[in-house]
Amino acid sequence: MKISTARKITLTLVIVIVLVSFFVNTGSGNLSSLGWQAIAYVCPLGAIETFLASWTLVPRAVIALIVAAVVVMVLGKVFCAWLCPVPPLRRFFTFKRNNAVKEAVAKSQKAQKALEASQHEAAEGTPGKAAPAPLSAEEKAAVSLSQDGPQGKDKGLKPCPSGCTTCTEKRKKLDSRHLVLGGALVSTAIFGFPVFCIVCPVGLTFASLIALWRLVGFNEPSWALLIYPLFLAVELFVLKKWCIKFCPLGALMSLFSIPSRLFKPHVDETKCLRSRGIDCKVCVTVCGEELDPHYAEGMHECTKCGLCKEHCPAQAITLPLYKGKSA
């Protein structure tokens, strides 16, 4: 089974379970607050906001926060790719991004075929198109900077040498999301209620489903059926880079995920098209976090979505401990 298929099945099952709980009235809640009777899981950001709003440590929220922190420390930001409804909604409605992915894959595949044809012709002694020039020593050093780790800086290597179009900037540990996170927590402490919970896209998604269910199942129309989807649409389509620029929940998990070492993408440089002189950026284009798996720094942001592995034209990317098929 492909990773993308497993992700879709997982999220679908979660949504179905939540909807069924509405129907049979089990009171198990949704991803923002999921539980059964005395056992409850609360969104880690929501838990912190609850502490700040009431200036009281709620035992359930404390336990939920500790559990969430441990899971993220071990597995990383898996929630963002496997359970959060925002990325699949954005991919479904963002046609330009989908086209960009297809174009990037097609371009790399075309360049790969041209290179292989040129190499075959050279081996046969038939003159043909010149093969793309290999990367310079400086470019190769930058591409494989992940293997050098911190020592790369000591060698004077730049993250992206001049003229190297395949290189991308590494993600910083602290960015605009963390400013939003700080603002959400400060405003919660000031106003006495969880400010971000009002506009959280995860909560808005399930609130919209609840409003729709109330309309269909009980013929109870409400303004919520318009207001919640409207706020969600703003976050999805106006704030187009919500996940990597604004999401405070992602920012919080990025701090917890720094120790995570499991299921990180690994690039086989001997297969990667970049090492063969092809300007391939498919892995970066398909990544919702805009990560480049050639760099170790910033990879704690990886959501284990597997898109880089599935779309890599050269099948040069693997996720350790995962042996599923590539697309």
pLDDT in tens, 111-132: 777 766 766 666 665 554 444 4
What pLDDT is attached to residue 252? 94
Q: What's the N-to-C CA distance of the chain in angstroms? A: 10
pLDDT band per the 50, 70, 90 thresholds, residue 9: very high
Over the stretch 217-257, which tens digit does the pLDDT of each residue have? 778 888 888 888 898 888 888 888 888 999 999 999 999 99
- 14 vs 8: CA distance, rounded Å: 10
Which two tokens mark 190? 């000031």
- 130 vs 141: CA distance, rounded Å: 24
How many CA atoms, within 13 angstroms, populate the side-chain half-sphere of residue 249?
27
What are the boundaries of each domain within the chain? 31-75+174-256
Yes or no: say if 76 and 303 are a contact pair by the CB < 8 Å rule: yes
Which two tokens mark 202? 């995860």
Q: Kindly report the average pLDDT of the chain as a whole number.
A: 77
Instruction: Look at the pTM and tell me if it is higher than 0.85.
Output: no
Residue located via tokens 């599935």: 310
What pLDDT is attached to residue 158? 39
Q: Which residues contact 322 (CB under 8 A, 6 or more apart)?
A: 3, 263, 306, 309
pLDDT band per the 50, 70, 90 thresholds, residue 162: very low
Least confident of 78-87, 117-126, 175-184, 235-244: 117-126
- 153 vs 296: CA distance, rounded Å: 13
CA 230 to chain centre: 23
Q: In this structure, which amino acid lies at residue 261?
A: R
Q: Which residues contact 73 (CB under 8 A, 6 or more apart)?
A: 256, 257, 259, 260
**Number of helices followed by number of strands (H, E) in the chain:** 16, 5
